[in-house]
Structures are given as structure tokens and as C-alpha cells.
Structure 1
Amino acid sequence: MTADSPRNVLVRFAPMIYGPTLLFALGEGAVIPLIPVIANRLGADVALAALVAAALVVGQLCGNIPAGWAVARFGERLTMGVAGIIVLAGLLGIVFAQSLAFFTAAVFLIGFCAASFALARHSFMTTRVPLTFRARALSLLGGTFRLGMFVGPFISAALLAIFGSETASIVFFAVCQVATILLVFFGPDPEKAVPVGAGSPTGRGAGDSRDAEDTGEPVTGAIPTVERVGVFRTMWRYRGVLARLGLAASSLSAVRSARQVVLPLWGVSLGLDAGTIAVVVGVSGAIDFALFYASGQVMDRFGRLWAALPAMVLMGAGFFALSFTHELSSAAMWYAMFAAVLGVGNGLSSGILLTLGADVAPPTDPAAFLGSWRTLTDAGGAVAPLIVSALTAVASLSVGVGAMGLVAVLGAAGFIRWVPRYVPRSR
């Protein structure tokens, strides 16, 4: 496999990895905007509807560690297939929910199973993709998901215009999910088609040692053993890298998540109409999507830090600068400008969390470690909107936005300190 060109290998992955990713993201992207709408119809006010929508993120956060156990125990293919079937049950719950509690549980279940999809793909790519173009492969994975989440809402809008009911979008997600399950179970088996070990590091990383406890020092040699250990034992063994590089990665996830919340809120606070806000957010998202593969190229050619650091600096500067423009006469112009800056920063960060997780994970059995890694990064994404909301309530939206700029600065410092220590210079 290492003799193949990157293009040939990535094309080979299309039906195994990128196809299911795109289908799942299209369906999820079509349904996510409807969750608050359905919750409101079931009796939730605005605040409670936002809490119900957050159940999707909370479900994914809670699902990462069980998903790590399932992938390590049963393999990527079976885990993805079973998770897909459970997602169908969650969609049925959404359609037939008569109470807000039942609806929230169904949303949580879909998020819980989404973690299994994400972790199974991440684990597969970690063990099968050659190190020479690992970042490009994982950036393409992230870009495929972003494409689905970007296009999905437009498909949902079209279905609503045609059928006039949210059920049409839910059925669309179900159709995408059935196609995903068929592709997973009856398409090429990625675990058989591509040998394990293709993605093993050629250098030395923090995750290469499987028997020694992680004391926080970089590992200087590889130990050829394939012993499987439990999820919580893995968390303890690699506590050093998780507490250091993992927290830096969590800060990047927080800044990304804050961007999704801040841009619409900022537009509302300026008194802009929904159409203008949608255009600004859409342009920012388009810039973000356009840069996803460039991030992988930078990481593969120059190293991980050369993508992580500019992304954090750009987003941190964007948040800081935006926080001082609210009362200016040209506030709307600055809003559009810094939304574009945040889009560039977010685009440059595409695939970084996936790639760093793969770099420091145990190369022969990464699933349990990646469950912990993804829990940290998802926690950062889940906490960020709460921080913005709390600071806005206590002080102002400008203070909340400025705080996310500070998080970005601290995260950039963490990357400067820990990426060279845990990720070999060859990466």
C-alpha cells in the first residue's frame, strides 16, 4: 500500500470511509436545524429548545468512550453498522415523539451513535493510512463531513418547500442512513481490503509505548506488542499526553464551536435581518470548506504545528478584534470581515484534531485511546457555547467573544509547547 500514490489510496477509501461519512453528514445536516423547531412544537420555549438541540452534542460526548470500547472489541465495520441501525430507531423516535422528554432522548441517541461512526473511521485511518499523507487523508475526511453538514440544510429547506413537513427531512436522513448501512455491510470491508500497520509511525511518538505508563515524557522507543487494554486503563496510561496536548486540542475545538454560536448571535445583537446574517455565516462557511484540503497539505509537508498555530492565531485575533467593534458605526462591515477571518482560521484547522489524535495514539490498537481523545475535544466544543452564554448573561456578548479569543491564545501556547514534544519532527 505504501507504494501507491496518495490519490490511488484515497480513491480506494471512497466507498469504505468517505462515502458513509458524506451520507451520514448529509442526513444529519438536514435534520439538525429542525430539532429546535420540533422541540418548540412539543412545548419547549426558546431556552429549552436550545437545550434539547444540545442533546445531540451531549450524546456524542457521552458516546466516545463506549465507542472506543466497541471498536476495539468488535471492529470498525460492525460498530458502524450496528450504530447505523440504532440511528434509524432514533429517527423513528423523533417522528413519533409525543413528549419533549421522549424527543430529547431520541436526539441524544442519535448523537451517541454518531460518536461510533466518527471514532470507527478515525481508528481505521489511524492504522491504515501511510504517515506520508495521513494529514491529507484525515483533512479530506473532515472536509467530507463539512460538505455534508453544509449541503444538508439546503436539502432540508428544499424538502420543506416541496412537502411542507419536517418529516420529509427526517425521512431523507433515514434514506441516507439505510444507504450508509448497506455500504458498510455489503461494500468492500475496509478491515480486509487494507492491511493494518500501513499507518504506523515511522518516527517515535507519545503513543508508541504500550506497556510503560505515560509519565508525560516523550517515548524513545517502540515496543512490539499487541496487548489489548481497557478504555480506562488506556486513559490512565496516556494521561500525560491527554492532559497536555489533549487540552490544547480541546481549546481548538472550543474556539471552533464558539464561532458557530457567536456569528449568528453577533448579527442578531447588531439588529441585522435573518437574510444578512445567513449570507455572512454562509460566506464564512464557504471559506472554511474551501480550505480543508490545504490544511492537510501544510501538515504533511511542513508539520502539524504549521497548520495548528496559524489557525489558532487567526481565530483568536478575529474574536479579540470583533469584540471591540460592536459599538462602531461600521459594526456590520467589521462583522462581515471578521467572520471571513474566522472562516479562514477554521478552514486551516481542518483535520488537525483527527491528525494529532492519530499521531499520538497507540499505532496497532488506537480505538480506546481515540475514545478518550475525542471525549476531550468534544467536551471543549460542548463547553464553549456555555461559556459564551454565561459571560453574555453576566457581562456582555463582547466579553464572551473576547474570552474565546483568550482561549485561542492559550491553546496556541499549548500547541507551541506540546506538539514538538509529543509529535516527531518528521510529522
Structure 2
Amino acid sequence: MPDPASAPGMGPMLWRLAPMIYGPTVLFALGEGAVVPLLPVIAAQLGADVPTAALVASALVVGQLCGNIPAGWAVSRIGERMTMIVGGVLALGGVAGMLFAPSLPVLAAAVFLIGFCAAAFGLARHSFMTTRVPIAYRARALSLLGGTFRLGMFVGPFLAAALIAIFGDENSTVWFFGACLLATIALLVFGPDPEDAVPVPRVRRSSGDSRLAEDTGEPVTGSIPVPERVGVFRTMWRFRGVLSRLGLAAASLSAVRSARQVVLPLWGVSIGLDAQTIALVVGISGAIDFAHFYASGQVMDRFGRLWAALPAMVLMGSGFLALAFTHDLSQAAMWFALFAAVLGVGNGLSSGILLTLGADVAPQDDPAAFLGSWRTLTDAGGAIAPLLVSAVAAVVSLSVATGVIGVIGLAGAAGFIRWVPRFVPRTR
């Protein structure tokens, strides 16, 4: 792994190129964040009932889940920038499909395509950071990357509300997403390429472990020379140990994060709160989450990855477990607001953890194929959690479902304790 001291000028250069590094992610996330809350509404306009509208909205997550491995293949062969350009163009096709969809299957296919392209954007920037950011501030750089996505998803719904108030049409948000994609593509095509501007340590495979490489001290630009590209599925098999251990712990974190977005609104409805109060509580929790996104990177870079992952998981796991026992209390609304805030803190402190751990354990000479597998695993955890909450709540109760998520969070914390020191040893 490259020595952090070998690239002392990387920090200022990273900030100088921030618009090109973080800008495409912000633009894509702003557009996506504006559209996501209105997917059920757009589906309902085509005649969908509530379950069908939920199915159409879930196509976004399914598309992202399915897109990670192909995105890893694309980044390995055509590079981060070209993958994002192709993804942006294809996403424009998804936007056109949403605008002019004659039926629900076409709308679902368009939403799936947008999710597929979102995976390409996420993986391309993840791969860029893995190969080019020194380990000394890798976590802070990746926490900022996670924060740019949080910014888009946090601000996007407010922009959607403003657009609907101005134009009186839900499709105005889809047009806005299209404008964001056009700006993203223009930025990628005509802006300076960070892959050329940011030097990368030349790495050489070590004889003992393909993940470890020696820094020769010679900076290079552009594509990284790779002796052999082993492919996505061979990479999955080669790294099955870390994926089945640390990867599962990471998937549990993704599951707890995703469950929070489902449990909090359902809990508010279950205890009899009105929609405005629920929106206020969830909004405050989201604001707390966003306010803490950079703290995670600071902690990971200064004290180690476990010092951020463990508090985040313990806070969220304990918060869900405690919330599960408050449903029938006289002050249920107060406890709901309190634990929503606790979950917001825990989720904010987890910003960038999955990105950083994936970057730490990826092969440094050609990380894209591994990161495709890593992100597929973590996205699968996020996709399964809402289904688990719904199933347990339908069979038993929402309180039990919430408690199950809490147990998953604490089990994930134990997994991080066990596997982070093994796979991500401290380097300084």
C-alpha cells in the first residue's frame, strides 16, 4: 500500500479539483433526490395501486444492485470518466422513458435503468478514490463523497417541492433530473480529467498477497498499468474470504441504514402521529445525519476504521432495540423523536465507512472488479432490509420487526470487532 507521505501535495490538488471529483456525484444525486419521492405518484398517474407503485419505486434499488458488477467490468476496461459519461447518456434514456412512458412496465424499466446508471456513477468515483487518494486522508475524502450523495438526497426533495409549486406538474422534477444529467455529462466531457491531473503511485504486485503493492515513489498519470486483469467473477472468488466475512458485516450496516428509512415513517403512523409531525421528525433526523457526515472520516483517519464503524452500529442497533419497547408507552411520540435523533447521529457517523472499508481491502492496482462485488453485497443488505421489516411486521408486529433490525445492528457491530482488525490493520 502506498505510503501516505509519498504524496504530500495530493490534499491541495484534491480540493482544487473538487468540482470535477465531487461535482458529478452532487449533480446526479440532486436530480435523483428530486425524483425519488415522487416515483409512487408518477406510477399512480399511470394507474398503479399502492403495492404496484411501491414495486415501481423499488426498481431503482434493484437496478443499482444489478448495475454494480457490470460497472466494475466497465471501469476496469474503459476507465472511470468514460464509464460515467456512458452512464449519464444511458440515464438520459431512463429520464425520457419516465417522461413518455405509456405503461407501468415501461416506467419500471426506465427507473431500473436509472438505478443501473447510478451504480456506474458510484463505483467509478469509488474506484478513483481507491487508486488515487493516499491512505492518510482516504477516509475523509470518501466521507466527503458519501456526503455529496447525502447532500443531493437531502436537498433534492425540497427542490422537488419548489418545482411542483412553480410548475404544478410532478414531471417537472423529471425534467430537472434530465437537466442535471446534461450538466453532468458536459462537466465530464469538457472539464479537466482528474485521472490525468492527480498522480497515482505506480504499484507492483507483491508475491504474497495480490492486495498488497509496493510504492516505487514514481508518480504516473492516466490509466494505471496492470499486469493482468482477472475479471469480475475470478476476483469475487479470489477475495471470497473478505467478502464473506467483513463484507457481510458491511452488508448489515447497509441493512440497518435502509431499515431506518422504512421504520421511522411506519412507526410514526403506527403510534397515531399526523403526516406533518412524521415528516418533521424524519426531516430532523435526516438533518442530524447530514450534519455528521464528515466526522466519520475524521475519526477513521485519526484513530482507525473501527472507531467509527463500532459507535455507529452500536448507536443504531441500540436505538432500534430501545425504540421497539416504546410503542405502547404514554410518551411514545417523545421516545419516537428521541430515538429518531439517535438513529440520525448513528447514520451520520457511518458516512463513508462502507466506501473506506471497500477501498482498504480492494486490490490497489485494479480495484474496480472487487468494488463491484463489494457494492453488490452491501446494496443487497440495503435492499433486503425493507422486505424483512415488512414481512416481520405483517406476521408479528412492527415492534418485533424493529427489534430484529436492532439485533442485526448489534450483530454487525460484533462482526466489525472481529473482522476489521484482521482485514484492515493499522498502517501507522
Give the partner amino acid of 1:142. Answer: G
1:14, distance to aligned residue in structure 2 (A): 1.1
| Residues 1:391 and 2:392 aligned together | yes
Shift of residue 207, structure 1, vs aligned partner? 2.9
Does the C-alpha gap of structure 1 residues 327 and 118 become closer, same or farther in structure 2, counting only changes over 3 Å? Answer: same
Is it true that 1:355 corresponds to 2:356 in the alignment?
A: yes
Cα distance, 1:227 vs structure 2: 1.6
Could you say which residue in structure 2 is the equivalent of 1:47? Answer: 51
Aligned twin of 2:260: 259
- 2-side partners of 1:42 and 1:137: how far apart? 42
**1:56 maps to 2:75:** no
Partner of 1:370: 371
* Counterpart for residue 275 of structure 1: 276
Tell me the equivalent position of 2:161. Answer: 157
Which letter does structure 2 place at the counterpart of 1:197? P
Shift of the 242–17 alpha-carbon distance from structure 1 to 2, 3 Å rule, reads: same
Displacement of 1:209: 7.4
Aligned residue for 1:188, secondary structure, equals: coil
Partner of 1:327: 328
* Gapped regions of structure 2 (runs ≥ 5): 1-5, 215-224
> Corresponding residue for 1:15?
19
Among residues 8, 23, 45, which one is paired with 1:3 in the alignment? 8
Give the 3 Å change call, closer, same or farther, for CA 378–10 of structure 1 in structure 2.
same
Contact 1:208 1:361 in 2 (8 A): no
Per-residue CA distance 1:207-261 (angstroms, 9 max, x = gap): 3379xxxxxxxxxxxxx97321100000000000000000000000000000011
Structure 1 residue 311: Cα displacement: 0.2
SS of equivalent residue, structure 1 residue 328: coil
Aligned length: 412
Over 3 Å counting, the alpha-carbon distance change for 1:102 and 1:207 in structure 2 is same
2:10 touches 2:134 (CA, 8 Å); kept in 1? no
Confirm whether residue 35 of structure 1 aligns to residue 36 of structure 2. Answer: no
Change (3 A) 1:199 1:26: farther
Residues of 2 paired with 1:40 and 1:196: CA distance? 49
> 1:201·1:359 contact (CA, 8 Å) conserved in 2?
no
Aligned residue identity for 1:359: D
Q: Is the 8 A contact 1:206 1:360 kept in 2?
A: no
Over the matched positions of the two proteins, sequence identity in percent amounts to 74
Please report how far the alpha carbon of residue 199 of structure 1 lies from its aligned counterpart in structure 2 after TM superposition: 10
Equivalence for 1:75 = 79
Match of 2:199 in 1: 195
Report the Cα distance in structure 2 between the residues aligned to 1:198 and 1:273, rounded to whole angstroms.
58
Structure 1 moving runs of 4+ over 6 Å: 198-202
User: How far does the alpha carbon of each residue in 1:127-156 deviate from its partner, in whole angstroms, 9 at most, with x for none?
Assistant: 000110000000000001100110001000
Offset at residue 10 of structure 1 (A): 3.3
Is this contact kept in 2: 1:205–1:424, CA < 8 A? no
Amino acid at match of 1:90: G
Partner of 1:342: 343
Counterpart in the other structure of 1:217: none
Which consecutive unaligned segments of at least 5 residues does structure 1 have? 211-223
TM-score by length of 1: 0.94
Give the CA deviation at 1:168.
1.1
For 1:313, give the aligned amino acid. V
Does structure 1 conserve the Cα–Cα contact (< 8 Å) formed by 2:131 and 2:365? yes
Question: Does structure 2 retain, via aligned residues, the 8 Å contact 1:245–1:414?
Answer: yes
The answer as to whether partners of 1:205 and 1:359 remain within 8 angstroms in 2 is no
Q: Report the alpha carbon displacement of residue 191 of structure 1 after superposing the two structures with TM.
A: 1.4
Q: How far does residue 41 in structure 1 lie from its aligned partner after superposition?
A: 1.5
1:143 and 2:147 are equivalent in the alignment: yes
Alignment of 1:143-292 (within 5 A): 143-197=147-201, 207-208=211-212, 226-292=227-293
Q: Which amino acid aligns with 2:105?
A: A
* Cα displacement string for residues 69-116 of structure 1 (whole angstroms, at most 9, x for unaligned residues): 000011001000010000001000000011000000000000001100
Displacement of 1:167 after TM fit? Answer: 1.7
| Contact kept? 2:140, 2:297, Cα under 8 Å | yes
Kept in 2, the 8 Å contact 1:125–1:199? The answer is no
> Aligned partners of 2:70, 2:10: CA distance in 1, in Å?
35
Q: Is the 8 A contact 1:30 1:149 kept in 2?
A: yes
Q: Who is 1:105 aligned against?
A: 109
In 2, Cα distance between the equivalents of 1:209 and 1:388? 43
Q: Is the 8 A contact 1:135 1:300 kept in 2?
A: yes
- Matches of 1:402 and 1:319 in 2, distance apart? 6
Aligned counterparts of 2:362 and 2:204: Cα–Cα separation in 1: 10
Mapped partners of 2:326, 2:336: distance in 1: 8
Contact 2:33–2:155 (CA<8 Å) still a contact in 1?
yes
One-letter identity of the residue aligned with 1:412: A
In 2, distance between residues paired with 1:199 and 1:228?
14
Q: 1:197 aligns to what SS in structure 2?
A: strand
Residue 122 (str. 1) matches residue 130 (str. 2): no
The two structures have a TM-score, normalised by structure 2, of 0.93
- 1:221 — aligned with what? none
Determine the structure 1 residue equivalent to 2:30.
26
2:380 matched residue in structure 1 = 379
Q: Which residue of 2 aligns with 1:297?
A: 298
Q: Deviations over 1:370-408 (max 9, x none)?
A: 000000000000000000000000000001100000100
Residue 214 of structure 1: aligned partner: none
